[in-house]
A and B are shown apart, each in its own frame.
Chain A
Amino acid sequence: MRTLFLTGILWLSMLANANTVPAADQLEQLKQQVIELNRELFLLEEELLFPPQTQLAVFVSVDSGQFFQLDSVELLLNHKPINAHLYTTQQWSALKRGAIHPLYKGNIKAGEHQLTAVFVGKGPDNRDYRRAVSYPFTKAEDAVLLELQINDRSSDYQPDFVVQPWSND
């Protein structure tokens, strides 16, 4: 009697096990569908909301971050503020490890523009640091992708702020 009971339990638990594997499959399938849906939404958004003819995207990256600790970046387009970001310690360490931050994405008209980026942080001797970099550019048919790079200038241990456009290859 007891062995029967035990076998029954065993069988039931095996059954339960057998059922959970397909359930895991199904769950994974559903997750995959969500991923695909999201991807398609993203691509359509790129095409419709930020078409290349008007797209301006700005990114932030850091070389090794030895000579500068970033606190915040402010963006101005033709002298008007368009975006600002405060960097947390976690985000700064992500940048130092090679990550690139997608700071801004928006739409602008064709023609001449000037992008100004203001970097605020702490310099090599822990003093407050504030640098502005201006970058004039022409908006034509292609999307304008600009990478704000904070490089290390080992010649004088100062950070170097560069605006580097990406070519769309």
Chain B
Amino acid sequence: MVKRLKPLLLLTLMLPLPWVAASAQTTLSDKHYRLAAWSFYLQQPEQALERLQLAPEQDARTQLLEAGLYLQLGMPQRAAYLLQQLLTAGNEGASALPLALRNAALLQFARYQLETGNKPQAQHYLAQVNIGIDQQWLGEQQLLSQLVKWPDIALPETPQFALLARQSEMPYIVSNQALVLAKSGQTDLALHWLAQLQNQLAVPQQQGFWSLLFSGQWRLLTKPDGFVYPAQEQTALQDYLALLQAQLHIERQELAAADAILANFAADSVLSDTALQLYSHILTQQRHIPALLAVLQQQIKQQPFSLTAWQAASRIGEQLERAAQLHDALGAYHWAEQYYQQQTELINQQARPLQVSQLQHGLAPWQQLQLANDNNLYRLQQDILALQYQLANAPERQQRLARLTEVTTFKLVQQQDLLSTQLPQLTARAQTLTQQFNAVQQQIATAEQQPMALSLWQGEAYQQLSRLENAEQRFSRLPADAQQGADYAKRLARLRGLLHWQYSDTAAERRWQRQQQLTATDAKLATLQQQLHTLNRQGNQSPRLTAVRQRLAVLNEQQQQLNLALLSQQQQLLARLNQQLQQLRQQQLASLTQLQRHNKEAMARVMERVLLLADSDSAKMAEGQ
């Protein structure tokens, strides 16, 4: 039942999305919300939830969607927790929910409380629902109200067709009200209301929300025009109302009216079993034997393995016996005996312990029936299948873990290589280069101190200066009187002067060139340092990678344990399921045994009557002679 509201809730949540996009909200959280929407529309609630939970910020809207997704994933407790947080949080501020969504959350939560048996809480949250002018959720609110207050529900003067015109729950609200009226003895009024309701339904309605609500089919959401099979729901509802009317007629002893309804009841209706039951009741009272026999046979045909069918089998004989058709009665009882035998055999054949794979496909008819009729068994089956689904995804999780471990190991090896070879080599080279650079820089500095340092010259000028310096040296080594050629000294001085002038002239340019070269080398060195820095940083990943590798090992362990837990839980539930099935089997076999005994007694009784009659006949005949 919890499923019903979910699709509507989620649909409503998704509708305001264009509103979001238009309001120029381009934060990353909004992107996450919209990415989650993609998974949602593609019917992958696990991915949608994951996306949503990875968003950096959460607001009321994302929380509500999260709650809805949890419900979709069959995790009502977490959904309830989120809803509770959402509803007890303040009503003010930008993070507050729009009214419609708040109402949706309250109703969902109230319904959850109701279904877990907590009426006071359901009442509490229901009371906070504040239906706005647009009357959205009015129907759901009224219906839940009825369920919570049953049978002291609100009873208006007349059915509120106008008020509930756009609410898909309208037929149920009104029919419930009719039921309460009937209970309090106002069967006339109840019938009148039901008749009015039938008229209302004859008018083609907006099928949309209707089918979605009652079929609860998730996949209907995604068809572009919205909804499929409205006719089915329409028919079911019509049948339901007809049955209610029939029941009321029966209570008022208006058997003919009830007969009229039930005689025309469709055999393939979902409510056919109930209809047949009612019909057989009134036919028995009215003593319409042929029709009754037909109904009993229909029950046997339609409801195999059911107490109804089994009782119907013996009732055929009983009715024939009552009508003094003794030979037919005998035949009927005989047939019933064989029928019971057959049913016993079939049950014994089909009531074998189940495997998980059979729960998906491969159930025998008897097993299928038990699972469909018993809430506990149905719940168990669903849970087992849910666990199977989780187990089926285990290989994929394992693969992801394996891949991550592989990549981590590879990267660690890379790191190793980086740290043990590449990095040291590069560092050494950088060091050497730096040293060289510094050395050259030092040389230049010292050389620049001297006015015409030889080391700073090059090419032709260098040669000229070298020759000049050589000449000066040779001259200074000459004896003093040889130096008298002041001419020579003057020439040397002049040459030096010339070269000096040349030197100064081009000094600036050459200094500039030197600076350029230095700057260039400096830049290259800087780049190298940068690269080194980056590599160093990359090399720093080792601690993180090691931590990750450890974490992956832990996760691997957790994954194994999780799989074991899933499997063990599944086995437990399966054992419980099979146990309950066996109990049912025993119960049913016991019923059959009892019926068979009853049947035998009946046969004996009829036989006795037949013989007595034969005796008295022959006695009469003898007397008559």
Contact = CB atoms under 8 A, between A and B. Distances in A.
Instruction: Check whether chain A touches chain B (CB < 8 angstroms).
Output: yes
B77 A100 contact: no
Given A34-B562, A61-B34, A169-B27, A98 B17 contact: yes
Contact of B50 (A17, A19, A31, A38): A38
B33 to A, nearest CB: 9
Given A27-B386, A45-B400, A64-B18, A94 B37 contact: yes
A32 B18 contact: no
A166 B28 contact: yes
Interface stretch (B38-46, B451-459, B467-475, B500-508): B38-46
Interface string B271-288: 000000000000000000
B562 A27 contact: no
Contacts of B386: 27, 31
B522 to A, nearest CB: 24
A153 B407 CA distance: 46
Contact of B376 (A13, A39, A90, A99): A13
B383 to A, nearest CB: 5
Interface in A16-41: 16-17, 19-20, 23-28, 30-35, 37-41
A54 interface: no
Contacts of B20: 98
Given A37-B559, A166-B28, A98 B548 contact: no
Contacts of B54: 39, 42-43
B185 to A, nearest CB: 30
Nearest to B544: A47
B624 to A, nearest CB: 50
A30 B564 CA distance: 11
A32 B576 contact: no
B519 interface: no
Given A63-B21, A89-B224, A28 B75 contact: yes
B573 interface: yes
Contacts of B527: none
A97 B27 contact: no
Given A20-B376, A33-B562, A91-B42, A38 B548 contact: no
B49 interface: yes
Interface in B363-395: 376, 379-380, 383, 386-387, 390, 393
A164 to B, nearest CB: 9
B291 to A, nearest CB: 33
Contacts of A168: 28
Given A35-B50, A37-B555, A44 B548 contact: yes
Interface in B23-70: 27-28, 31, 34-35, 37-38, 40-42, 46, 49-50, 53-54
A49 interface: yes
A22 B383 CA distance: 12
Given A20-B380, A44-B548, A94-B37, A38 B387 contact: no
Contacts of A43: 54
A97 B390 CA distance: 30
Contact of A90 (B37, B41, B393, B400): B41
Nearest to B390: A34
Most buried by B among A17, A30, A34, A63: A34
Contacts of B573: 23
A30 B566 contact: yes
Contact of A32 (B15, B75, B76, B400): B75
Contacts of B35: 59, 99-100, 102
A139 interface: no
B569 interface: yes
A98 B22 CA distance: 10
Contacts of A134: none
Nearest to A44: B404
A30 B387 contact: yes
Contacts of B17: 97-99
A48 interface: yes
Contacts of B224: 89-90, 93
A35 B50 CA distance: 8
A122 interface: no
Contact of B562 (A30, A42, A101): A30
A89 B223 CA distance: 9
B124 interface: no
Given A34-B390, A39-B50, A27 B400 contact: no
Nearest to A31: B75
A94 to B, nearest CB: 4
B397 A37 contact: yes
A7 to B, nearest CB: 15
A38 B53 CA distance: 12
Interface in B576-596: 576, 580, 583
Contacts of B53: 39
B569 A30 contact: yes
B397 A30 contact: no
B587 to A, nearest CB: 8
B34 A100 contact: yes
B73 interface: yes
B18 A97 contact: yes
Nearest to B377: A16
A98 B50 contact: no
Contact of B401 (A32, A41, A147): A41
Given A27-B569, A37-B555, A42 B50 contact: yes
A10 to B, nearest CB: 13
Nearest to B393: A34
B555 A40 contact: yes
Interface in A45-90: 45, 47-49, 59, 61, 63-64, 89-90
Given A37-B562, A39-B54, A99-B38, A27 B397 contact: no
B21 A98 contact: yes
A61 B21 CA distance: 11
Interface of B: 14-15, 17-18, 20-21, 27-28, 31, 34-35, 37-38, 40-42, 46, 49-50, 53-54, 73-78, 222, 224, 376, 379-380, 383, 386-387, 390, 393, 397, 400-401, 403-404, 407-408, 411, 548, 551-552, 555, 558-559, 562, 565-566, 569, 572-573, 576, 580, 583
| 6 pairs of A and B residues whose beta carbons are closest in the complex | A98-B17, A94-B41, A99-B37, A99-B38, A100-B34, A28-B75
Given A35-B49, A93-B41, 14 more contacts: A17-B376, A20-B380, A23-B572, A25-B77, A28-B74, A28-B76, A31-B390, A32-B78, A34-B562, A90-B42, A91-B41, A99-B34, A99-B40, A100-B38
5 contacts: A17-B376, A27-B383, A30-B387, A97-B41, A99-B17
Interface of A: 12-13, 16-17, 19-20, 23-28, 30-35, 37-45, 47-49, 59, 61, 63-64, 89-91, 93-95, 97-102, 147, 166, 168-169
